[in-house]
Structure 1
């Protein structure tokens, strides 16, 4: 190069360009990092930011990528060491705010961290920003040594374990890598691990300010990595302290010939690494970071991901104990604090809505045919506030995509910070889950859903504007009974597709117009979305809530747990066959045979059964056919042990005495299927077979149980779980009950097995290859 420039190097350093994933690994909403190219001048001023690749679902379909480009341009001209947060600026606190992207809060928060943390790390490495100088540790002189278990118990030795399925290599009994590590400069720990002579020899090799850590590892992977073979660089492990990172080369490596502590495990590879930076201090917490290639099973692509374990020297070894440190708040905590006023207002809105809904019967009784203010005003207030405050302002719009994310989080990886990153959606879902078990989906779908409220108001406003004579309040019942199953089909398809590709499920979930209406905006979408949205709104002007009745997958998903609601419709003793309630029900939830009590009276009269009394709680007392084992009624209260045993038998065993009257071959097949399904579930929980296989068997068993229960126990509960108020079940009732009950049982058993450590034992079970 010098010859080329006549012996002079006239190049001038003007800045630095770096890839974010080479410096930090911060996942965004999709669980994958936003790959960003960042430019910075020699003074640490950001000169350019470009997003090269991302997997964010709302940016793949929904919000245009130009919005993300616009967002990252806000960082141009800012210093990498500035305090920059998503939100409003606070000059008094030295905080610079950047505008977020509506509907993509999680993504922009993650991207904010990517730009700042990677830029600050590079700025420190090249000397633009001075590194943090931490006071060095001063050790106490504690005589004696410890065995291996004692070292583990007090935290002097830590374990970092990476399972094979965590990096996409499929389930397996042996971990991908299992690393034990610790700090050797402290005399008691060093003598315990290396022995007296080994510790003395190590200390004689270290210069002042240098630190030694040891690693021993087992597993199919290695912490040395391929970089060590190519260039003497250990590219699989590093030490991090705050935002400072310390990597190792061959000159930082020493052989570890053995562990002297009694009870130490055998190991496949070992090392002693030397940290030669003055900014590292053993008095403060630090982490061992292991970098691995993670394989995406859907695409086969490999991406680097990191696993870390914190280490902090026990206080008894430090003069004065551990120093006081203030750990930075989690990002989701900052989000909640920055919007605390809106959070309080939203909570008050939820409480008000729940109170009004709980008192709706009293409000209806105070209303008359001429004066409907008591029932109409609360509903209209909730509808308007749901659209304006919740939908357009807070962007807290529940969606089927959140249900799918929740379902996958249970099966794959549950991360609280992901769900807590949007406080309003999180609180809304907590409220929806609670009220669904109280009253079913009626409260959310009918009173609080932002889009449902919009459709309802469009229908009523259109009527006031002169379109009432063209409006059809109800479709013919036979058409309604057919079309209402479409939404359940959509939900089933979305759930199934999500196990193949979550990205495709996100795209298909655009059947919900929620994103177009509230998160993105109608006029920011392409013409197919605008056309679909327009058709639904126009239809809503002539038919009451057509999308909610026939297309909404979220409503279908909420219908499943609604089977377990505690309070259903009140049954009045004077209820007859007038069908007035059917005519006035905009949801068409009452079929031609009449209201539920009238329908039951007709059935009993035709069957020659007596008309039973109404219980004190407003529920009728059912009569079970003689051929079925009698079920305790609301008036008969068994003892608590008997009640628990009866509940256990009813929920876990779909068969009645009829099963024992079948041929022996059918009985054997039935019980063999039960054992096989249980075994498949255990293998799935242990990680021996994939979630798709488990889902298939779960659906198969649920279908089998549905048929069996409709033949042997054709009833479901109507009211609180702890009661015994039963009602005849339709196929839809039983399907919802079986699906949700099996999901609850599986999730409960999984949590119990995970919490008690049984899953770790099951890791060694042989896989049933034929199931694949």
Structure 2
């Protein structure tokens, strides 16, 4: 049984990472900013300034752009973006990149992310180092990479760009970024180069030397150009190579095969062929292949696109004009995962640079844009995924946890149905403590499945207002509520209070520690113990009344339960809360589960649920209570009447009395009967 349980535990891990909650995110937002309201259900929040006005957006990269890293898992970062698109901060939340986990450590990674502060999403940000002096005039903004971790920081950079551009398009540009279309591999349209030019499938930009002089007219670089040539200064052709029909019409067979192999390795990249037949060329002489081109930039919806050389030396189809065969050629790549849509208008801009002066010349530039758009007929546009309900989204996010919890509850129910065999184990106490350890670690600290009377109050308010959606946001807790409700029918309150409450388990561990330390055990007089049973119902009534009549104080009154401090926040709270929760655990070292047996408002609610119990599941004999009082004396909860009858509303299903009842060496009626049998024999 325990091997199966451990197996379930190893399977427990989130399949999809859910966005951070307000409680987890708010402490990360430093003054003068603070966290506002959620903008959507994908982890985007409003960022407020010190006056309460909207200053920008806060979001995680993983929910918006889950690009896999080397470990297969996305790198998750927190981005603070102002309303103009400037990065206020980029912070690492989680990563599993091998080079940073067991090699360099996270310090270089965090230092890399600090470079984003102050830069704008409107700048063409590039990871890498500019090569040669000529590149200093490039429009690109270069971020220093991390030695030995180039690929990992580039993945992180692309994740930041993809998530930030998604927010910028939707919130700042008003453009909804739907699923990016992909080239249709089955679409076959016989077409020639000339037909593509005539139909506008090949975009063309022509700039004469006179146009170049006009661009620099009135500046200090007006007289710094070279003598005008015979041909055009820029004669640029651009073609989308994503659609196979267009690639076949433009490329030689060997290059076509190389493009097909590249597409198979990087199916999210859209390749573009650039041919420059003028005097300008495409990049500076210092350009290094497989990096961002230093004379080319691109944008869509007013936001930059990340261009990168595909490192393919193209050969053109034999029927293309000879002037193009001898021209400068390059194949660039654009990542559709970053929001690029080739079927919508975008532009590529070619930068012309002039230098003024002899010593440390000053660079000036002019830009010549070329509009691009590929018709829809060449693409397949995937349908937008159906919007999941909050409950379906939560189910997906916690799928592994729910499977593990379901397995654990199945095993627990099976063990409790066979209660006589469980209680009769020689190692019953270690077995029980092992189950409680799983409850504390998995259900409590990991799964955050500590039930609370706060949920009951939310349900009560929902019944009044006509909405119970609060339950659907936490399927993990809902499964435990369902198990507790089924337990009401079978065993009363005992299933939850005795076996599924993480804070109750902590108190029981504290009790055993107190026994190990040989601390004196305190048991209140019976009259006081009975009076203390009313503390829980009174606390419950006070909390419910506060929720309805003074809702602004409900959160404060809810701190009467130490569950949030001990389990949810794991004692990471102000000292007063820690002392309250830790104090009750310390009390349990000398007074067995004192909070459960006195002040617990949830326990009081569970007593009412126990009224649904359908059977008396604890076996009794006629001698129980008269004359035998052993079970009553041994019951740590005081749940057995002097008459031997079980008070199920106070029973925690610890099974101590069951183990005594079935033990021929401890049950007094069985011992007496055995002695009589021996005498008769």
TM-score, length of structure 2 as denominator length: 0.43
TM-score, length of structure 1 as denominator length: 0.38
Answer with 1 or 2: which has the greater Rg.
2
